[in-house]
A and B are shown apart, each in its own frame.
Chain A
Amino acid sequence: MTDIIQFHDVSHRYEGGHDVLSHVSFSVKQGEMVFLTGASGAGKSTILRLVALIARATRGQVHVHGQTLASVKPRHIPAYRQRLGLVFQDFNLLNDRTVFDNVALPLIIRGHSHRDVGRQVRAALDQVDLLNKEKVYPLTLSGGEQQRVGIARAVVTKPDLILADEPTGNLDPEMAHEVMRIFERFNQVGVSVLVATHAIDLIKAMPHRMIHLEHGRISMKVPLSVRHAGDFPYA
């Protein structure tokens, strides 16, 4: 299987600041689901920001879809991001538009026809069990529902890579669990998923690879074999 994400000795430094990421190397295979764990400030979000080209590596190489990200010009960033599905901690929904319009946005950006948009938006909402909420505004929904709208928006264009930054950070445990299960469902149909989270309890029972960060460095990689054996390093 080919790698969808590769980090080769990547460092990232804020201008005039310290390294928030130093000498990080790892890869995510096509169709794999991986958790990035660690305390806040450990560099989880930075990794996702580098993959989404919200930030650029100061040193080292990042490859996504086999493409060297350092060579992506600023004007090609929108087209690059269109191949990703991004899910955020605070949902980042547009609150003045209906659920339907929020989920439709990535399709409209890509210039899909009217008919096509309706069909695909309903398919995406169906996958997150929100088909009956398409006409309501996000703020009338619960946090878990809003995050599911966010996921529907991320998957409506059928990306082969989903990046989620603390997707359950603002949710109660039950909703958080539901959201993680949705990510697993997409992973089961072949979508690669990279989730940054510090909710160790939540992912304990989920058999996926983990990459643990401390102070901008990878301190532990927990391979699938270990996870399958039910051995959990933080217990």
Chain B
Amino acid sequence: MPRAAASSDRRQTFFSRLLEEHARVFFFSLGKLWQNPAGTLLTALVIGITLALPAGLHALINNVDKLSYSWEGAAQSSLFLKDSVSAERGKDLARELNARPGVARTTYISRDQALAEFRKLSGFGEALDILDNNPLPAVITVTPMHKQSRDEINALVTDLSNLPEVDMAKLDQKWLERLYGIIDLLQRGVMVIAVLLSLAVIVTVANTIRLDIQARREEIIVMKLIGAPNSFIRRPFLYTGLWYGFTGSVVALIFVGVGMAALTGPVQNLAGLYESNFSLSGLSFFAVLQVFGAGIVLGWLGAFLTVSRHLSKIEPH
């Protein structure tokens, strides 16, 4: 007589029953948190602040990075042509180089143009009149494409300097390299901070869940008495951890959003003073997903670690 009722159940596949059970716990654990809004909000706030720090720093560094790209034009290389190269050949060469992979743009500056420019900018125009002929070489400025490594750009410049028409190639990007170096360092720093704060999120969730387990000790014992396996008892706690991570992520994104909004005005003001149209950009869609992903995974992990440790210690006796 005991198993007759189970027959209608068997028609349902194992998978759909599992899905139903997970959906039930998904909403059940959310309901539990809803019943204790103050505690939930507090935990979410702590996780939110913890996640907001690396997310915010990440966004700021991305902006500095973006800013440095807009200065990329300055990383151009100047090819000084030999005097024997004619103006026609120089223009042709500029066109040829333009077609090379890794080259974004080339400009040919004839000796006369160079002289005119020098005259205009240097203030030594009169001094030049003393000279019989124009001492300045023709120049092709080459702008490497974005997103190339320093090694690639260096290799390109070396290649160009070996061309028969070229007397000398000069790459002026020391300061940009330094900037990249600083950005790299900051990015690494943010990563270290992110790892440390991830641990903090895990510990926060683990501790909250530990208290939750202690508060529901009697309930766990009753569950075990009526035959609930550990996986069944564990599940709501894991979803609770997941919800903590999720709500923490929402809080973190709100913090980052508010922080960005607060900086937008002053940044635009400053950019205006530098005659730049630079504006702060917020977190990308991918970064937002990352914040949610990190929150959910860390929350789940924190819950999993505690529940696994504490559940087996609670046995009816």
A: residues with CB less than 8 A from B are: 49, 52, 54-55, 78-84, 86, 88, 92-94, 96, 105-106, 108-114, 116, 120, 153-154, 157-160, 190
Contact = CB atoms under 8 A, between A and B. Distances in A.
Interface stretch (B2-10, B119-127, B167-175, B251-259): B2-10
A94 B1 contact: no
A109 B5 contact: no
Nearest to B225: A86
A113 B20 CA distance: 8
B17 A111 contact: yes
Nearest to A154: B226
Contact of B225 (A54, A114, A157, A160): A54
A106 B222 CA distance: 11
Interface stretch (B186-194, B227-235, B279-287): B227-235
- Best-surrounded residue of A83, A92, A94, A96 (most CB of chain B within 10 A): A92
Contacts of B222: 92-94
25 contacts: A54-B317, A78-B227, A78-B228, A78-B229, A80-B227, A81-B226, A81-B227, A82-B226, A86-B225, A88-B225, A92-B221, A93-B222, A94-B222, A105-B226, A105-B228, A109-B227, A110-B227, A112-B5, A116-B5, A116-B9, A120-B5, A158-B2, A158-B3, A158-B4, A190-B1
A109 B228 contact: yes
Contacts of A49: 317
A49 B316 CA distance: 10
A96 B1 CA distance: 32
- Best-surrounded residue of A78, A82, A84, A159 (most CB of chain B within 10 A): A78
Contact of B9 (A54, A84, A112): A112
B12 interface: yes
A82 B1 contact: no
Contacts of B100: none
**Chain B interface category by residue count:** 20 to 34
A83 B230 CA distance: 17
Interface in B1-56: 1-6, 8-9, 12, 17-18, 20-21, 24
B184 interface: no
B225 A52 contact: yes
Given A54-B317, A116-B9, A92 B227 contact: no
Instruction: List 10 A-B pairs, minimum CB-CB distance, nearest first.
Output: A82-B227, A81-B227, A78-B229, A158-B2, A109-B228, A92-B222, A78-B227, A111-B17, A54-B316, A106-B226
B64 to A, nearest CB: 51
B91 interface: no
A86 B226 contact: yes
Contact of A114 (B20, B219, B226, B229): B20
Nearest to A54: B316
A25 to B, nearest CB: 24
Contacts of A54: 225, 315-317
Contacts of B20: 113-114
Contacts of A153: 226
Contacts of A112: 5-6, 9
A30 to B, nearest CB: 11
A158 B21 CA distance: 21
Nearest to B228: A109
Given A54-B225, A94-B219, A108 B8 contact: no
B223 A105 contact: yes
B225 A92 contact: yes
A153 B223 CA distance: 12
